[in-house]
A = this chain, B = another copy of it.
Amino acid sequence: MSRPSIPQGTRDFGPEVVRKRSHILNVIKNVFELYGFQPLETPAMENLDTLMGKYGEEGDKLIFKILNNGLDNPAKEKQVREGFEKILQGRNPKGITERALKYDLTIPFARYVAMNHGQLTFPFKRYQIQPVWRADRPQKGRYREFYQCDADVVGSNSLLNEVELADIYTTVFEQLKIPVEIKINSRKILMALAELSAGADRMMDITVAIDKLDKVGLEKVKEDLVQRGLNLQAISVIENYLSISGTNEEKILKAKELLSSTAAGKKGIEELETILNYQLTTQPSSVTIDLTLARGLNYYTGTIFEVKAKNVQIGSIGGGGRYDDLTSLFGVPNIPGVGISFGVDRIYDVMEELDLFPEDVYIGSQVLFFNLGEKEGKEAFRLAQQLRSRNIRCEIYHEPGKFDKQFKYAEKKKIPFVIIIGEEEIKENICKVKNISTGEQKEIPVNELAAFSFK
C-alpha cells in the first residue's frame, strides 16, 4: 500500500481552514444579500460544447475533460479506437469526452441565463460561490481547484449597479477589516485613448500593454507599444494620458481635456462622474479613479473595477466590470450586465498576513465535559444536552480516562472551557467550570450551569 496523496494543485481543508474560509465567505454572502443578490449554483460539470472556445486557445487546453463512461474498459475497444482516431485527425473529441469541469463561473452563469431567460425576472442579480478547475501548472498561490465568488446583474444598463457593486466592495472589506484601494476606470475611456493615438482597432494592444504598467513601469510599457508597431506620436499621446494624476476630480478634469473630443471618451468620463456623484450621496467616495487600470479580460466594454489590499505585496483581491452581451454566446442577445468577483484565496492570505481573523474563528467546541466514570459520564451527558439546547457547542470526552489526557484533548482542540464532574460534585450537585486560558476555576450549582456565560 503506497502512501496516499491528493492530486497536484488540490487541497484538503481541515477544520480551522474551513472555519476561516467560511468567515470570509459568510461576510461576502451576507453583503451580497443586503444588496438584493440571490444565490445560484450550477453543476461542476458542463457539456464540453458550453465551455470550449470561450476562454481562448490557451484556456481550452486548461479545461479538465471527463472521460466518457466505460472507456477505461478494454471491452469497449472499438469505441475507444474510433474516438481516438477522430481526435488524432483533429476532429471532434466527443467520442472520448463530452463533459468537462467548469473553468469559471461566468460562462456557466451566461449559459444558465440563456437557458432560463424566459422565466427569470430582469434585472437578474445573482451571486455564486463555487469551486472551478483549471489544469494550470500548480505554483505558490495557484491551484487546480479553487473557489470563485462572483456577483453579477444582467439585464440592466443602469449605472446604479456599478454604484452598488462598488459599495459591496467597500462594505465587505470594511467588515473583514482589510484596508483596500478600490480602483475604477472605463473601457470607453481606453477606447477613446486608442482612437486618439493609434486607432480604435489597436485598443486591445494598448489595453494589454497598459495593464502591465504596475508591474513593469512606464519604460517597458513604451517598449512594448513600440514592439506592437505604434508610432512615436501615438505613444506620446498614451504617455501623456498615463501621466494624469491627482484627486478623482483632477483626473476627471484632465481626462476631459484630453479625451472628450471623442464620443467614447465623453461617455466614459460622464459615467465615472455619475458613479462618483451617486456615491457622494451617502459618504465620501470609496473608489479611486485609476486611468491606467485596464483589466486583462477582453469581454469588458464599460466600467472596470479592481481592488488592491494596502500594505500587502499581493496581486488584486477583486475585480470586475461591465460587459455588453455575454449570453449572445448562447444565442440570446441583448442582455447587458456588470459584475464583480472576490479572490477568496488571496483574501485569505492577506487576512493571515495581517492577522485579521477574529478570535472566535479558532474555536469549535466551547466546552469539554470531563468523563470520570460511568455515572459521572451520564451526568455530564445530561448537562451537555442542556447546554446544547441553549446553542452552546460541547463535547463529553468519549470515555472515562485520566485528567491529563482529557486536558490535553481540550488544549489540542483549543476548547476554552472544561467542566469537571466527579463523585463529590454529583453528591453536592455542583460542577467545576475551568477556563483553560486564564486557569480560573469556579464551582457552579448544576441548576445554574445553563445560565453560565462561556465567553
Instruction: Kindly identify which residue among B11, B15, B99, B135 contacts A69, using a CB–CB cutoff of 8 Å.
Output: B135
A44–B133 touching, CB < 8 Å: yes
| A13-45 to B contact mask, C-beta < 8 Å, 1/0 | 111001100100000001001111011111111
Contact check, B394 vs A47: say whether CB atoms are below 8 A apart: no
Which residues from B are CB-within-8-Å of A116? 12, 14
Given A87-B72, A115-B5: A43 touches B388 (CB 8 Å cut-off)? no
Q: Scan residues 49-100 of chain A and give those whose CB is less than 8 A from a CB of chain B.
A: 49-50, 61, 64-67, 69-74, 77, 80-81, 84, 87-90, 93, 96-99
What residues of chain B lie closer than 8 Å to A35, measured between beta carbons? 388, 393-395
Q: In the assembly, what is the distance between CA of A381 and CA of B81, in Å?
A: 63
Binds B, one of A155-163, A260-268, A435-443: A155-163
A18, B39: Cβ atoms closer than 8 Å: yes
The closest CB in chain B to the CB of A411 belongs to B121
Q: Please, how many angstroms separate the alpha-carbon atoms of A66 and B249 in the complex?
A: 53
- Whether B385 contacts A167 by the Cβ 8 Å rule is yes
Asked if residues A381 and B281 are in contact (CB atoms below 8 Å), the reply is: yes
- A370: min CB distance to chain B, Å: 13
Q: Determine if B378 and A47 form an interchain contact, defined as CB atoms under 8 angstroms apart.
A: no
Contact of A12 among B30, B40, B74, B409 (CB under 8 A): B40
21 intermolecular pairs with C-beta atoms under 8 Å apart: A1-B329, A4-B114, A5-B47, A12-B41, A13-B39, A13-B41, A33-B364, A36-B364, A44-B101, A44-B145, A45-B133, A64-B66, A64-B67, A67-B96, A84-B84, A121-B409, A157-B399, A160-B398, A160-B399, A164-B396, A282-B382
Task: For the complex formed, measure the closest distance between the CB of A155 and the CB atoms of chain B, giving whole angstroms.
Answer: 9
Q: A12-B42, A34-B394, A44-B131 are in contact. List 15 more A-B contacts (CB 8 A).
A: A4-B50, A4-B111, A4-B331, A6-B43, A12-B41, A14-B40, A15-B38, A34-B391, A64-B66, A64-B67, A65-B66, A72-B96, A121-B413, A160-B398, A278-B378
